[in-house]
Amino acid sequence: MSIEHHDVHIRPVREEDRDAVIGLAAQLAEGVPEWRDPGAVVEAARQWLAGYFTPASQQPGAVFVAVAGGEVVGMVSVNTHRHFTGPVEAYIGEVAVAPHAVRMGLGRRLLGAAEDWARGQGLRHLTLETAAGNTTARRFYAAVGYQEEAIRFTRVLDRLRDRPDTA
């Protein structure tokens, strides 16, 4: 399927988009570390995405989809959260583009919809997270103006001898 930039529409998610949006869950497992169960990541992503189909009155944020030729080919969710220093910020929970639709400007357009939503809420910052191993996403976010703010470290403790010395 060839997708032309001008043939893609970004719009708020609808109930009829449920299966297509949940079908994008596998894209959210890219770059997960070897010690994480990719199946568990995809299942968690399916649950998150299904949660966006609650009644609109109970949905504090927004979800937008990219539609091409009547097919949902991407999505972004945006909400608010309080940064540990106090200010309320916009936060992208998930952004995903179907494999056959990557590198066609959809990610930029989806982020643009989230940014517009955040501006409409009067917010100054928009944050998101991605797996450290997802180098494609990290390069993309940097290219569109996002800056790395925090680094998360994990140590796998599957053996007793992994304990750090306490001397």
Per-residue pLDDT band at 97 (split at 50, 70, 90): very high
* Residue pair 116/108 in contact by the 8 Å Cβ criterion: no
Per-residue pLDDT band at 160 (split at 50, 70, 90): low
* Residue pair 106/8 in contact by the 8 Å Cβ criterion: yes
Q: Which amino acid is at 106?
A: L
Distances (CA, A) of 40 to 20, 31, 80, 133: 19, 14, 25, 17
Cβ burial 34-66 (10 Å sphere, 16+ → b, else e): eeeeeeebbeebbeebeebbeeeeeeebbbbbb
Q: Taking the domains of the chain in order of start, what are their residue ranges?
A: 5-162
pLDDT tens for 6-39 read 689 999 999 999 999 999 999 988 888 889 998 9
**Domain range 5-162, CATH class:** alpha beta
